[in-house]
């Protein structure tokens, strides 16, 4: 896996990363993640559940 220097990321990729973090952060803060919360995060990000679990 290629590491990306966070100081060299363009504004568009940084904005996308912040949006993903905002959608995922509430999930990881929970002790037990409810299925509806996963569906909501997927919908917000426009991804399927398996993609939500991938690191990109």
Sign of the torsion formed by the C-alpha atoms of 48, 49, 50 and 53: positive
Rg (CA), the chain: 13
Q: Tell me if residue 5 falls in helix, strand or coil.
A: coil
- List the one residue out of 26, 25, 29, 24 whose CA is nearest residue 47: 24
pLDDT tens across 7-41, in order?
A: 788 889 889 889 989 999 989 898 999 999 999 99
Does the global pTM surpass 0.85?
no
Instruction: Find out whether 27 and 33 touch, Cβ atoms under 8 Å.
Output: yes
Domain boundaries, the chain: 32-56
């Amino acid at each position: 896996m290629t590491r990306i220097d966070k100081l060299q990321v363009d504004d568009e990729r940084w904005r996308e990363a912040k949006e993903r973090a905002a959608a995922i952060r509430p999930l990881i803060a929970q002790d037990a993640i409810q299925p509806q919360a996963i569906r909501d995060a997927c919908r917000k990000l426009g991804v399927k559940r398996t993609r939500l679990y991938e690191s990109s």
